[in-house]
Structure 1
Amino acid sequence: MGEVKYTFIRKHTKKYTVKLLCSLLKVIRQGYYDWLKRRKSNRAIDSEMLIDDIRKIYTEFKGRYGSPRIALELCRRGKFTSKNRVARHMQQIGVAALPWRKKKVTSRKPSSEGVAENLVKRVFDTKVKHVLGVVDITYIPLQTGGFLYLATWIDVFSRKVVGWAMQARMTDQLVIDAFKQAIDKEHPRSVL
């Protein structure tokens, strides 16, 4: 019953004095002031309710929503707040949006079998033509979306592109085609 009386006093302190209201409702003034100290502010109560709503939306959308989307979802549900306030509360409770896009795998790690021995050992210098060649693969973005992959076969002696191939997919055949073009164009004789 004291809670109801204290709430009534708090609502009417702008019109009447606390002393008058306490005497009319037969409560002790010190008890009212102690209740005020224990009572949470409206802002603190709103913050607790907002944190509960943030947690619900965060779990409902499996952690994929950040503060802007959670604030928008709260507004859709009739609880208007800013994305900055949502961000502060998310940081306070230790939640953040998870990345939702899978990274596109552009290369594959080769298995141990089928890997050739490293004969070059990062020494890219030779005194004879057609002894050492290297391949470079790059991609060219298209205006329509997607990529074209370009493989170039370079003779280390002359630093000249001697073969190239282009495909819509990056496959082993891309490098093989560039190598075949280099062989057909240069006609190297066996040096061994």
Structure 2
Amino acid sequence: MCAFIAEHRARFGVAQICRVLTAHGAKISPRTFYAWAARPLSTRALWDTTITEIMVGYYEADAEGRRPPESLYGAVKMWAYLQRQGIPVARCTVERLMRSGWQGVTRRKRVRTTIANPSDERAPDLVDRQFKVPAPNQLIVADFTYVPMAGGSHMYTAFAIDAYAGRIVGWECSSTKTDKFVRTAVRHAAELRRFEGKPFLGNTIHHSDAGSQTGFNRWTQHLDERGVEWDDHRDGQRH
């Protein structure tokens, strides 16, 4: 209550605030407030002020808008950092003071893109983790990842990469993680290489992870001469 009066005394005056509070059942006299104001700060209040001033130097930007790396810390990391600096502050004190408006960087929830199905048959692994090739068009590696969007949503992007130079030669986006848009990325890669005058000739190896999104549970296959189809060894059909 005294802190409330101290906050608004310049605008309304101590006596007026005490009169209104007393009229509403919170009895307090101006003498009580002045006695409180003249009392020295407690040990806890002094310690809180000290720690607050230290953390201001980490979380508040300077005149040029720059912040130190410690401004990314949450309460736990900041407490550990202060401990390493020889400042014996309690973890609960740091958490309490940071609730006044400081917050560290939080990581987004990770989206799983590869969900393997152990019971599903896989195509043979023709690469065996040997991703170095002597020329282009020998190995196309396909994978996809998620891209965070505004509002907490996300999209998926598939890439087809020529392992020779690490060049992205095909890509496609989708709102769902099915095998169709990964296949499309590989087809785009084939079309690009054909447009550049260097088409796939039937000996190109396509490699992807063992994810099971809607049946996409393969490792590596040879692309055919058109560069847009490959064998599915489970059902004998071409896709």
TM-score w.r.t. the length of structure 1 is 0.42
Bigger helix fraction: 1
Greater length-normalized contact order (CA 8 Å, ≥ 6 residues apart): 2
